[in-house]
Amino acid sequence: MVFLNPYLSSSDLEFYENVKDFAKERVLPSVEERDETSTWGDSIWKEMGGMGLLGIPVPEEYGGQGGTCLQCCIAQEAFNAGSLDGGFGLSWGAHMIIGTLPILFQGTEAQKKKYLPKLASGEWIAGLGLTEPDSGSDAAAMNTFATKVDGGFILNGSKLYITNGPNGQVFIIMARTTKSRGPMGVSAFIVESNMKGFHVSKVLKKLGHNTSMTAELSFQDMFVPDENLLGPLNSGFVRIGKGTLEWERTVLVAAVPGGMEFGLELCLDYAWKRHQFGKPILSFFGVQEKLARNWVYLCASRRLIYFVANKKDTDPTASLPFESSALKVFVTETAEEIANDAVQIHGGMGYMRECHVSRQFRDVKLGTIGGGTSEIQRSIISSTYAGFDKFMTVLGQSLPEEVRQKAENLLGNTPEGRVLAAAKELLRSAGENPDRKKKQSSEFGFADLAVFIVSVQLGLWDAVQSNADYKSEDRIRDLRILTFYAGCKFFKSVHFLKELDPERTKELLNRFSELPTVEKDVAECVEFLKNGVLGAQIA
């Protein structure tokens, strides 16, 4: 539905709608059964391979589509918006991004010619082996070891929670190649499942994403030839792991707002048709505010994802750990809230496994764990902050200067603009305080403040733009809703910044307390959504 995604150009929107329609027609009808039985959809995989969806970022010369980071995000989002099949989307994303891109980015020409065509077509399924039983968030502390021998390496060790582990053929495996600890002693290898000593030691049962296959892999005296070393020796984690994880935190997270869109459509329809006390439950504020939050969080998530993806595309060498981590925290944590609300709106039916939102509730939890936990993302945000001016310069690349200036002139002195200004003053001050990094509570408070600023600043700049489906007055209304609810969510830990700057912390919280109530805005937002999504049903 075009109305629900106002942030794409006509060509990108056509691609989005095509993928969403495919997912709705070919994937959605079987997702409940596949989820219940933890069954892999091989026919869906082959059909997607025939459509070119499995090799979007792979250059055409290697059998792919030569697509952009943004196009990968659009595809992931649209697939989930049409099917709410987070598990299959996860397998696809793991294959396309963390299983294939390391070969594209660091592989030799021989490696690219051997592996990329079969990965792009889907004939081979790929994955990444990084996490171990004793090495999770501290990924560089892994124990899997590769011993150099004549003609190659002998690998011993195991990897845990590996997406596509039971059914994949090609894996990028990180292994220590020196006895010293730390990231510089880790190398990457292209491992094939038919290598002697490769074992799927256990197929894992999960809370959610049950349409994706997950396993523990083990390697017992497995010989890997020299030509399968990926990138320079002892630099696999730095060159491949961290670069690929930025893509993962953008592209794989892009599926999450797709789930928000699916849930929004479902909840609006249910809340309109479900009558209690003589009227639709959609008429009650307790339901309306959940749907309004869903919408403003969905729009904010898209602004963040598309901004980071476009930045990746315009400058492929850019390192964006701060931005991709802020994106991941905002999108995945608000999605948890929205999934919980979706079940609540459906009441008892939402608690039944036959109801799609129950699957959304189970699937969404992985977002705050996989690809680096929310806690790790907050540490990255704090540690990679490069100063306020650099922060605002990068953020300013999201929109032209004339748009940003127009927004500041129009909205800078509104209650929402004053909250944002106070938040930025506190960020500047706390960011310059060396004591910020001495306590995790201060780091996390700083990170949450930064996440709030990124999401609301992009919303404020966007609010002066307009198109047929989403006019400026609607965006300004939604900015008020976003500022209030994002503040409620992310200002909880800002309290800890009192130790760094008590006056500016107090000023921010005072400004936030001065925000007008959003009850009227919520009602108008729901009316806007009702007309745009339900349309003829309410005529």
Phi and psi torsions of 386, nearest 5°: -105, 20
Cβ atoms of 515 and 483 closer than 8 Å: yes
Cα(503)–Cα(425) distance, rounded to whole angstroms? Answer: 11
Q: Which of 32, 248, 261, 443 is catalytic?
A: 248
Return the HEC string of 283-341: HCHHHHHHHHHHHHHHHHHHHHHHHHHHHHHHCCCCCCHHHHHHHHHHHHHHHHHHHHH
242, two tokens: 């961290």
First to last CA, the chain: 18
The angle formed by the CA atoms of residues 333, 289 and 407, to the nearest 5 degrees, is 75
Distance in angstroms (rounded) separating the CA atoms of residues 7 and 72: 15
| Cα diameter, the chain | 79
Can 375 be counted among the known catalytic residues?
no
Q: How far apart are CA 325 and CA 371, in angstroms?
A: 10
Q: Identify any residues that bridge with 24 across adjacent strands, giving them in sequence order.
A: none
Residue 351 is given by DSSP the state: G
Task: List the structure tokens of 249.
Answer: 């935190």
The owner of tokens 């060509």 is: 11
Contact 65, 52 (CB under 8 A): yes
Phi, psi of 198 (to 5 degrees): -85, 130
Question: Residue 513 CA to chain centroid, in angstroms?
Answer: 31
Q: Please give the positions annotated as active site.
A: 248
